[in-house]
Amino acid sequence: MKQKHSAKGRKAIKNTLVHILLALLAFVWLIPIFWVIMTSLRGEAGSYTPYFFPKQLTFNNYIRLFTETGQFYYLRWFMNTFFVAVCSCLISTFYVLSISYAISRLRFRMRKPFMNIALILGMFPGFMSMIAVYYILKGLNMTQSLLALILVYSGGAGLGFYIAKGFFDTIPKSIDEAAWIDGASKWQVFRKVTIPLSKPIIIYTILTSFIAPWTDYIFVSVIMGDNYNNYTVALGLFKMLEREFINNWYTRFAAGAVIVSIPISILFIIMQKYYVDGVSGAVKG
Amino acid sequence: MKKELKGVRNWFLYFIRTFKKGDCLTKLCFFIMGSSNLLRGQIAKGLAFLAAEIFYLYYLITIGLSSLAGLATLGTKQQGMVMDEELGIFVVQQGDNSMLMLLSGVVSLFLTALFLVIWRASIKAGYEAQQIKEQGKRLPGLLEDICTYFDSKIHRTLMALPLTGILLFTVLPLFFMILIAFTNYDHEHQPPGNLFTWIGLANFKTILLSGDTISKTFWPVLGWTIIWAVFATLLNYLGGILLALLINRKETKCKGLWRTLFVISIAIPQFVSLLVVRTMLNNDGAVNALLRELGIIADTAFVPFLSNPSWARITVILVNLWVGIPYTMLITTGILSNIPGDLYDSARVDGANQVVIFFKITMPYVVFVTTPYLITQFIGNINNFNVIYFLTGGGPISLDYYQAGKTDLLVTWLYKLTTGTKKDYSYASAIGILVFILSAVFSLISYRRTASYNREEDFQ
């Protein structure tokens, strides 16, 4: 009886320890986020303070970020990013889903070779081609435009089919075959059987292809040059930290960073479940 | 490899075989595309092929031939003053632009390859029309043809647009950059002011063997890239699994809350979180300020998180844990919940303790399922631009290195070579190819062996 008691006690101690550990880890993970929020509310100007907690709190940084548009036009960048993200998200989702569906469910001669080629292409550093893309866009007279960004972000999207393909693989093939026997064409099977079963992976694809343009810095920086009007948030915020701007703009940078992060974080937290299901395949055969 | 070569040979042999078997209309098809379909009554199909041929020939005559020829020389006329023999004075000569010549040459090559594919398709269609007629059947009309593209040939419909995108924005630019690795397109040969030309493998020789500053940069950067990729991948992987296990324990309360707290850090764009962490870790940054306030270090002292090479390297790896562990946690959470519960039960009956269960059941299962993920993570880390670029920018800068700093990976070095002040495109491309070889070697060794590749179709 006594032994059982102490085992229970040990278990309770262990449980508490695990929870404390988790809390500590979560604290470490959240410090930078907490800090950027503090900085965005900081009343004192300048990039550095010799102390951790600000002495004055104010909403001024947020207000000035949207009202002082002479040098940096934050609201406009935000709308640019949103527009680019929505457009390329729609196109890439369509691309990724059609390629991965074809690769996973259909059998045709170029299937294996295509998968191998995609694998090989994926091994080149992604932005090795960016200079060439830049010159191609320049040839088409499209640099410094938002359309160029949309094309670049969605253009190669079809190569990222691996995860979605893995998901489609987990949908039992017998469902398709049953539909064929009932006289459905492959197109009808795709539309009426596969798509409704694939909610997690569709949401996963939408999520990732929406976030990718939000977070990309490389291509924008190469393509956009000095066309401030067409900047995206990533490039604009990066600019604020350059030596000549940082002192003036640092607290507003923090405010801008908070604003960008809030919608994406909310989206991400809501769709977390689909994210996990999408990666690991939800429909278990 | 042998299989692929055989496939390519068969692809070309098809022309000869069909030419022998075809009747005169099919044979005509070899020269006037679509004629077989056109004369046998498939008007739309025949006209489409014919239009493709006319377009290609027109392109070839107007632009194609000259740009293909330009590919060989990459320009001969240098911009500048030349002696005009007739006038007897110096005149300004509009020079060739090697870069544009190379680009249009590559575009011509791609159009030619595309034409070859269409040509073969037209011959195939022509021969099929001949066979159907010989069997005395009726040729399918346009509408029926279109219908097959939503049924038996649906893969073509689905893949047409995405493939176009991939060709235009991935394959073509990549091909162009690979070619540049074999030219001397560096800061001394910048068009339009100057020409560049083919130099074969000289760039690779300079980078790998020469003993110049470039090769003295390449080898250390390569070494650091591999060290970084190994640490970043393995530590993130282990950390992610452990965190997932901690949260997934039956006794842990508020699983969703814990998960969300960690997920927040990946939900924030990396350019935000990493730039913030960078300013926090500066010599006058928040972390040093906090350490001073807590009295851990002296009032004027600082920890050189990002300014000392060794510190910076360790900092980068640690901060990457902050970025990566939640990711792995999310992904492994799903996998962990898929492990059959009876495995654990029988292990417990046999008296295995937690540690044994972890190493004998959990890890093998997770590793088996996630090997492809591990490999992509490793290659992803070799190419991990964001963490390095936003955190240290490659710094601290070293004078021994050519345009690189102590935490630069090969890819960030590549980025600096193309967008920096010097614009050494040829070296950058060569480094890109070397990175490719590195990734290919690592993945060939491991990926080919994994069951999930070889038995790809078993699970369907």
Q: Judge whether residue B373 has pLDDT over 80.
A: no
Domain annotation covers residue A158: yes
Domain annotation covers residue A43: no
Give contacts of A36 with chain B, Cβ < 8 Å.
Answer: 272, 276
Nearest to B440 among A28, A123, A241 (CB): A123
- Taking CA atoms, what residue in A is nearest to B150? A187
C-beta atoms of A276 and B7 within 8 A: no
Give contacts of A237 with chain B, Cβ < 8 Å.
Answer: 271-272, 275
Q: Judge whether residue B76 has pLDDT over 80.
A: no
User: To the nearest whole angstrom, how far is the Cα of B27 from the nearest Cα of chain A?
Assistant: 26
Q: How confident is the model at residue B319 (pLDDT cuts 50, 70, 90)?
A: very high
For residues B77 and B59, the model is more confident at B59
Domain of A245, CATH number, reads 1.10.3720.10
Q: How confident is the model at residue B7 (pLDDT cuts 50, 70, 90)?
A: confident
User: To the nearest whole angstrom, how far is the Cα of A192 from the nearest Cα of chain B?
Assistant: 14
State the average pLDDT over residues B222-240: 93
Which range scores top for mean pLDDT: B20-29, B363-372, B381-390?
B381-390
Which of these ranges, A84-88, B43-47, B51-55, has the smallest mean pLDDT? B43-47
The dihedral built from the CA positions of residue A173, A174, A176 and A180, taken in this order, carries a sign that is positive
Chain A contact probe: residue of B8, B148, B161, B170 with most A CBs at under 10 A: B170
Q: Judge whether residue A279 has pLDDT over 70.
A: no
pLDDT of residue A165: 85
State the average pLDDT over residues B379-398: 86
Domain range holding A247? 65-284
- Distance CA(A212)–CA(A88), nearest Å, equals 9
Which of these ranges, A188-197, B54-63, B407-416, has the smallest mean pLDDT? A188-197
Which of these ranges, A65-74, A76-85, B303-312, has the smallest mean pLDDT? A65-74
C-beta atoms of B154 and A186 within 8 A: yes
Reference B52, options B111, B11, B4, B100; nearest CA is B111
- Distance CA(B100)–CA(A136), nearest Å, equals 10
C-beta atoms of A158 and B265 within 8 A: no
User: To the nearest whole angstrom, how far is the Cα of B89 from the nearest Cα of chain A?
Assistant: 35
Q: What percentage of chain B carries pLDDT values higher than 70?
A: 97
pLDDT of residue A281: 53
Q: Is the peptide bond before B192 cis (omega within 30 degrees of 0)?
A: yes
State the average pLDDT over residues B434-442: 89
Give contacts of B251 with chain A, Cβ < 8 Å.
Answer: 11, 15, 18
pLDDT of residue B346: 83
Nearest to A186 among B151, B162, B376 (CB): B151
Domain annotation covers residue A28: no
pLDDT of residue A283: 44
Q: Judge whether residue B94 has pLDDT over 80.
A: no
Q: What is the CATH number of domain B206-454?
A: 1.10.3720.10
State the average pLDDT over residues B70-98: 76
Give contacts of A19 with chain B, Cβ < 8 Å.
Answer: 252-253
CA-to-CA dists, residue A5 to A1, A141, B253, angstroms? 6, 78, 22
Domain annotation covers residue A34: no
Q: Judge whether residue B226 has pLDDT over 90.
A: yes
C-beta atoms of B284 and A18 within 8 A: no
Domain annotation covers residue A1: no
Nearest to A18 among B246, B268, B379 (CB): B246
Q: Judge whether residue A35 has pLDDT over 60.
A: yes
Give the residue extent of every domain in chain B: 17-200, 206-454
Give contacts of A111 with chain B, Cβ < 8 Å.
Answer: 155
pLDDT of residue B457: 52
Nearest to A185 among B151, B155, B170 (CB): B151
C-beta atoms of A257 and B331 within 8 A: no
CA-to-CA dists, residue B423 to B178, B185, B374, angstroms? 16, 9, 34
Give contacts of A101 with chain B, Cβ < 8 Å.
Answer: 158
C-beta atoms of B280 and A214 within 8 A: no
Domain annotation covers residue A238: yes
Domains: count for chain A: 1
Please check whether residue A41 is in contact with residue A61, taking contact to mean a CB–CB distance below 8 angstroms: yes
Q: Judge whether residue A59 has pLDDT over 70.
A: yes
Residue whose pair of structure tokens reads 């074969």 in the numeric block: B200
Q: What percentage of chain B carries pLDDT values higher than 90?
A: 21
Q: What percentage of chain A carries pLDDT values higher than 90?
A: 9
Q: How many CB pairs under 8 A join A and B?
A: 253
State the average pLDDT over residues B12-38: 85
Domain annotation covers residue A140: yes
Q: How confident is the model at residue B178 (pLDDT cuts 50, 70, 90)?
A: very high
Domain annotation covers residue A48: no
Which range scores top for mean pLDDT: A120-129, A252-261, A276-285, B73-82?
A252-261
C-beta atoms of B333 and A276 within 8 A: yes
C-beta atoms of A50 and B173 within 8 A: no
pTM over 0.90: no
Nearest to A241 among B243, B275, B376 (CB): B275
Which of these ranges, A243-257, B35-49, B327-341, has the smallest mean pLDDT? B327-341
Q: b or e along B356-373 (b: 16 or more beta carbons within 10 Å of the residue's beta carbon)?
A: eeeeebbeebbeebbbbb
pLDDT digits (tens, 9 = 90+) for A207-237: 888 888 888 888 888 888 778 888 888 888 8
pLDDT of residue A189: 84
- Distance CA(A244)–CA(B156), nearest Å, equals 53
Give first-to-last CA distance, chain A, whole Å. 46
